[in-house]
A and B are shown apart, each in its own frame.
Chain A
Amino acid sequence: MNEIGLNQILIVSTILFFIGVYGFLTRRNMITMLMAIELILNSVNINFVAFNKYLYADKLDGTFFTIFIITIAAAEAAVAIAIIIHLYRSLKSIDVDDADMMKF
């Protein structure tokens, strides 16, 4: 049985990334979009960990960055949900198409 190599992991993370992108671009519900963003971030996390493990096993920088991203993602989720709640209060909707005030 073959060892699971870097390539396989990268394939998984790429699939995860594009699922996230697809979700972000097609969904109209902001919460779902936020979840899609989390998927993108996590795919990046996987990449970091994988590169760290396979390429620079003697260093920890990759793992550090993962932890950074997790933290930032948590903060970002909090901010995003706060924005969404505010939008909901003013628009009575969390459909992203309704929030199109930011145009010319």
Chain B
Amino acid sequence: MPNYYIALIPLLPLATFVLLGLFGRKYLTASSGIIGTLSLFISTIISLITAYNYFFITGKVNGIFQPVLALKYTWLQFAPNVSIDLGIMLDPISMMMIVVVTFVSLMVHIFSLGYMKGEERFATYYAFLSLFTFSMLGLVLSSNIFQIYIFWELVGVSSFLLIGYYFEKPSAVAASKKAFIVTRFADLGFLIGILILAYNAETLDFSTLIQRLTDANSPYLINSTAASFFGISALTWGLVLVFLGGAGKSAMFPFHIWLPDAMEGPTPVSALIHAATMVVAGVFLVARLFPIFAFDVAALTVVTYVGAFSALLAAIIACTQTDIKRVLAYSTMSQIGYMMFSLGVSQHGGESGLGYMASMFHLFTHAFFKSLLFLGAGAVIHLVHSNEMKDMGGLRKLMPVTHITFLIACLAIAGIPPFAGFFSKEEILMAAFHSNKIVYFVALFTSGLTAFYMFRLYFAIFWSKESHANADHDEGTLSMKIPLIILAVFSVFAGFAPLSSLVTSDGAAIETHIDIVFSIAPVLLAAGGILLASKLYKSENSKPQSIATSLGGFYTAAHKKFYMDELYLFITNNIIFNMIGNAAAWIDKNIVDGFMNLLATVTAQISNLIKGFQSGKLQLYAVYFFVGVIGFMLLFVYLWN
């Protein structure tokens, strides 16, 4: 089959991981960066070719994109018809995702050449990056819902390894643990969701699953909507639980608490994992199962409101944070919220599938400008050695390339035409407007907030006070500037990508148009946000402080992230550790073990009672013996008959 080469896309990074993981530390310390980057470069080329082939040559049958199963290998057979297959599925979203993943990952690889230079564990870093890229590619190419779960866990662990890269910092270790455990908790839901769906559809294969659960006449669908638990059908349970897993990875409320802390990892890692790729896995998952979601209004409603609420909440918190990476983290969460509710308000097929297309479009454009923002932030942090806004300011002269590219990214995320974010956000708002007005207004308000906090960040870094950073540092090496420039170019032009004809819910192209009248409101709001930010933060003044004071409790609550961390900490420490864990340990020590010890004590006591017979006098023993024998003889002779 000529399609085998597609397997190289994920396998090349895997090979790099194995190579660098085994030998990198000792033998390839210097060259590991180049090796990793080159192999990923090849992988990127192949994925571009694959995507091109799919989108423009082979993918379409009768004007509709069909999923193609390029490879399939039965990995684990549970029952005659239920198996985990490792396969590669080509369809519009997986093609879009491999392009995004390999491309952003390549940029991050190049950027890290300069950023991570001189690190002691340089080879390990590239090994982990390769592992992550492999897992993420495996995830998006999955043809089987269990395969996606496997790679889901793998991206989780690569994220864990990379957040904990600076393992000597206790805060990094804590953050990596938190990220892993919170997402793991959500994954439990995913796993149970898989079990429910797989049990009801008797398959794990995506295409079969979707086909069986979307055909109104299929017995599988009828069974799974009929079976109910607490009055909710098995299908809804399954989908909501699967979404729970997606919410965990995508940092949706209430599982978002790990994302800001995850910024403890090296900044390029945050750009790759916690901005552009892994965190959109949840969106991808919902999109992957979208035909089934579209069948189940209840599940889709959950998706909508969780997405919208997360978008708003994150935007509010982002306005109050002072660590630049945390601001970006909350903005990521907010943007993913957009993608989620956009899926939520969509329907399957035709023009009403606008939300689906918009969500994918936003995922696409967001990957570019958000990774650009993170890499830019990385360059800034590289220069000033701090994450805090108060240590920055006036950097526009010191780092002109970073300044311009960062500005472009800010304009893109704020939704100013003609930058990339404008187009995708426009589609999302349009989809929301047509289906759910509450969500539309939340989204509109959030887009104003987005512009405000992004420009707050921009002004605080590049304007505000005069720079007192050490001027003999320069912006960083060429390898750090090139990715910034490339990504900036994409942030400007990605909006013109013809996604509406390529990535849609049912594979058929849909018509989209930019309605000028409709665009006025969001653009004006964004411009207002920018203006406000420039008033408050362009030069150093006391206005932000006084506004914060006048907002009082609300500001403090937002600044403290609405006490979510404290709540979780309370639950884990007081309830799980102290109440359940301690109780289990106590019961084990005192009751279960105590019972065994009691048995031993009783035995010892009895033996204490009767040990007097054991006098040590041999002849006394012999007397016992003879008396015993005679006793038995009498017993047998007289009682036997």
Contact = CB atoms under 8 A, between A and B. Distances in A.
Interface of A: 21, 24-26, 33, 96-97, 99-104
Interface in B602-641: 611-612, 614-619, 622-623, 626
Contacts of B622: 24-25
Nearest to B610: A104
A100 B617 contact: yes
A14 to B, nearest CB: 13
A21 B626 contact: yes
A100 B619 contact: no
A96 B616 contact: no
Q: Is the interface of B mostly helix, strand, loop or mixed?
A: helix
Nearest to B623: A25
B614 A103 contact: yes
Contacts of A104: 611-612, 614
Contacts of B617: 96-97, 100
A24 B611 contact: no
B621 to A, nearest CB: 9
Contacts of A100: 615-618
B619 A96 contact: yes
Contacts of A103: 614-616
A97 B622 CA distance: 13
Nearest to A96: B618
Given A21-B626, A103-B615, 18 more contacts: A24-B622, A25-B619, A25-B622, A25-B623, A25-B626, A26-B619, A33-B619, A96-B618, A97-B617, A100-B615, A100-B616, A100-B617, A102-B614, A102-B616, A103-B614, A103-B616, A104-B611, A104-B614
Nearest to A99: B618
21 contacts: A21-B626, A24-B619, A24-B622, A25-B623, A25-B626, A26-B619, A33-B619, A96-B618, A96-B619, A97-B617, A99-B618, A100-B615, A100-B616, A101-B616, A102-B614, A102-B616, A103-B614, A103-B615, A104-B611, A104-B612, A104-B614
Nearest to A28: B619
Nearest to A21: B626
Contacts of A96: 617-619
B196 to A, nearest CB: 64
A64 to B, nearest CB: 25
Interface string B178-191: 00000000000000
A44 B611 CA distance: 33
Nearest to A102: B616
A38 B504 CA distance: 104
Nearest to B608: A104
A90 to B, nearest CB: 15
Nearest to A36: B622
B439 to A, nearest CB: 83
A102 B623 CA distance: 17
A33 B614 CA distance: 20
Nearest to B619: A25
Nearest to A24: B622
Contacts of A99: 618
A76 to B, nearest CB: 15
A103 B617 CA distance: 8
A104 B609 CA distance: 11
A32 to B, nearest CB: 12
Contacts of A33: 619
A96 B616 CA distance: 10
B616 to A, nearest CB: 3
Contacts of B626: 21, 25
Contacts of B619: 24-26, 33, 96
Contacts of A97: 617
Contacts of B612: 104
Contacts of B623: 25
B107 to A, nearest CB: 81
Nearest to B626: A21
Interface in B382-396: none
Closest 5 CB pairs of A and B: A103-B616, A100-B616, A104-B611, A104-B614, A103-B614
B341 to A, nearest CB: 80
Contacts of A26: 619
A25 B623 CA distance: 7
A56 B478 CA distance: 112
Nearest to A26: B619
Interface string B187-208: 0000000000000000000000
Contacts of A25: 619, 622-623, 626
B182 to A, nearest CB: 60
Candidate in A97, A100, A104 with the most chain B CB atoms within 10 angstroms: A104
A27 B619 CA distance: 9
Nearest to A101: B616
A26 B619 CA distance: 8
A24 B618 CA distance: 10
B163 to A, nearest CB: 63
Candidate in B611, B614, B615, B618 with the most chain A CB atoms within 10 angstroms: B618
A24 B617 CA distance: 12
A20 B626 CA distance: 12
Nearest to B618: A96
Candidate in B611, B612, B619, B626 with the most chain A CB atoms within 10 angstroms: B619
Nearest to B617: A100
Interface in B494-539: none
Contacts of B618: 96, 99-100
A96 B177 CA distance: 71
Contacts of A24: 619, 622
B531 to A, nearest CB: 95
B26 to A, nearest CB: 63
Contacts of A101: 616
Interface in B340-388: none
A102 B619 CA distance: 13
